[in-house]
Amino acid sequence: MAIAACGLLAGCTGGTDDLTDYVAEVKLRDRKDRIKPLPQIKPYDTFVYEADAERSPFMPDTPSVVVRNASGSAISPDDTRSREFLEQFPLDSMNMVGTLELSGTMYGLLQTSDSLVHRVVIGDYIGQNDGQIKAITDIEIELLEIISDGLGGYIERPAAVALSD
């Protein structure tokens, strides 16, 4: 066993001269196919956004101009008033089903597409075009709508909801 161990150890002591010479030769070679070094990373330039006093990019460049119609009066829907319940229904989906007079006040009775009957008076708004009720008669509810004229302005258009049979 001791003789076998000595024989194995004898094989580990020498014979690496050719390997050492090859490694030294490779290190001395001028290698053209070496990996190129990484490019120099440019530092990031910070930018401070200081446009607090500038115009918001989400707002128009100029203040809104009131467009006047041919008669010279400024007509536009009132965006500040709160919307009434019957303004969510188009006029053609409502039917006049009658009138009611209580204490000298004439009420119009409108049935919506959900089959509910609503009571309206002069001055109420109905329909989707800012239609304000101007008159209530036994056969119809007359109103004045404000619609776009297609040129950036608005015009008034008469409309009515007639008594259904």
Write down all domains in the chain, each with its CATH number in brackets: 85-162 (2.30.30.830)
pLDDT at 11 over 90: no
pLDDT band at residue 68 using 50, 70 and 90 as cut-offs: low
Between 164 and 80, residue with greater pLDDT: 80
Ramachandran category for residue 98: left, alpha or beta (phi over 0 → left; psi -120 to 50 → alpha): left
Between 107 and 149, residue with greater pLDDT: 107
pLDDT band at residue 76 using 50, 70 and 90 as cut-offs: confident
Helix, strand, coil % (nearest 5) of the chain? 20, 30, 55
Between 86 and 62, residue with greater pLDDT: 86
